[in-house]
Chain A
Amino acid sequence: MNWKILGGGAAIMLPLVAVLAGGFGKDPRGSSTAMEGQKAPGFSLISIDGDPLALGELAGSPVVINFWATWCQPCLAEHPVLLEGSKRYRSRGVSFLGLLYDDDADTARRWIAKHGAAFPTLLDPGNHTAIDYGVVGVPETFFIDAGGQIFRKHTGPLTFEAMVDALEGMLGDVP
């Protein structure tokens, strides 16, 4: 066995394997928390019922923004969690908003009539607001503190435990 060639090959391959292992070992889209700690991008949108709503109107109170779509099965799975959260945390001043992603108002209205709603859902034509928030896919949920900063971004269907953890952590930060 030629130990020089073996050693040379190992010296070349090991850093490469380390880099690839690091890259393949995580989902770069799923783990992106780039927006956490940043000021929540403002927006002024229209709800599926035709009512205008601006994020600025909720300034000073914590907000939960959930990007979702009717064609998204995980969104259906997390829907009861969001409904429960909006009811439970309303008394603590938390507002919940849904932002429709790649979907239309008629379909969303039918979906909500079937599955229920406890907070407004806003239209985001062109997904411009989703891009401002760095949304990769739905569902994604942003927890915005009373100061307007993104406290946490949750990628994927929200569980009750994850929601409570984020909200309690966020509300605990409020002086």
Chain B
Amino acid sequence: MRVLWLTLVLVFGLVGAPAWAAGGASSGEEADSEAILSAPGIDEPALGDPVSGAVLSDRTNRLARILRCPVCQALSVADSNSDTARAMYVRIEGFVAEGYTDEQIVDYFVDTYGEWVRLDPKAEGANLVLWLLPVGVLVVGALLIGASSRREDEVPPAAPPVAADDPLRARVLAELGEDS
């Protein structure tokens, strides 16, 4: 049973961590808004409304927390101080301000950097294993623990009654100094 528990803890720790770690990302940093000559960005009209103020800041930070900094090891854009991450932050902020939706912005980065840019792997294809395996492990573990508990609760069958004239019984009683 200890082996099973160790396996469950190991597997859940290894598989669950990368899939769900992004939820704990810290808040983003302010990025400089250095302007430069034109770069095209998203090649389609914005589907949302332009935003500013707190909404702009909140949405930018939320998007920066789910996108990976391309020059870092497992850090979000919001968590990195690298120049590239700051530039990505400014890019995100600009898109949000212009009225692009979250989906349009994430799609833009996926188009340029590939699926890898998502800190949360999309739950499709081979990535499904990462999402379903922890659940599967929990279900299988619960079933095994349940089955094991039922076996422990079962009362063992009673021993057959010993005949009064059984020689072995008589000998045991004699050695104990008891009368039959």
Contacts and interface: CB of A to CB of B under 8 A. Distances in A.
A68 B39 CA distance: 18
A168 B126 CA distance: 35
A34 interface: yes
Nearest to A137: B71
Nearest to A102: B83
B83 A45 contact: no
B111 A38 contact: yes
A127 B116 contact: no
A-B residue pairs, 10 tightest by C-beta: A134-B112, A34-B114, A28-B116, A32-B114, A127-B87, A128-B39, A136-B70, A44-B37, A134-B113, A126-B87
A125 B35 CA distance: 8
Contacts of B38: 42-44
A134 B114 contact: yes
Interface in A10-56: 11-13, 15-16, 18-20, 22, 28-29, 32-35, 38-39, 41-46, 52
A19 B116 contact: no
Nearest to B34: A126
B11 A132 contact: no
Contact of A8 (B70, B86, B110, B140): B140
A9 to B, nearest CB: 5
Given A29-B70, A134-B114, A9 B41 contact: no
Nearest to B90: A126
Interface residues of B, number: 39
Contacts of B34: 125-126
Interface of A: 2, 5, 8-9, 11-13, 15-16, 18-20, 22, 28-29, 32-35, 38-39, 41-46, 52, 102, 124-137
Contacts of B70: 29, 134-137
Interface of B: 3-4, 7-8, 11, 14-15, 32, 34, 36-41, 43, 70-71, 83-84, 86-88, 90-91, 110-114, 116, 126, 129-130, 133, 136-137, 140, 144
A57 to B, nearest CB: 13
Q: Which of A33, A38, A133, A136 has the most CB of B within 10 A?
A: A136
A45 B32 CA distance: 19
A126 B133 CA distance: 41
Contacts of A131: 39, 84, 87-88, 91, 112
Contacts of A13: 7, 11
A174 B40 CA distance: 25
Contacts of A136: 70-71, 113
A174 B172 CA distance: 103
A12 B88 contact: no
B87 A132 contact: no
B87 A43 contact: no
A17 B72 CA distance: 25
Contacts of B144: 8
B10 to A, nearest CB: 8
A39 B112 CA distance: 11
Q: Which of A2, A15, A35, A127 has the most CB of B within 10 A?
A: A127
A126 B15 CA distance: 36
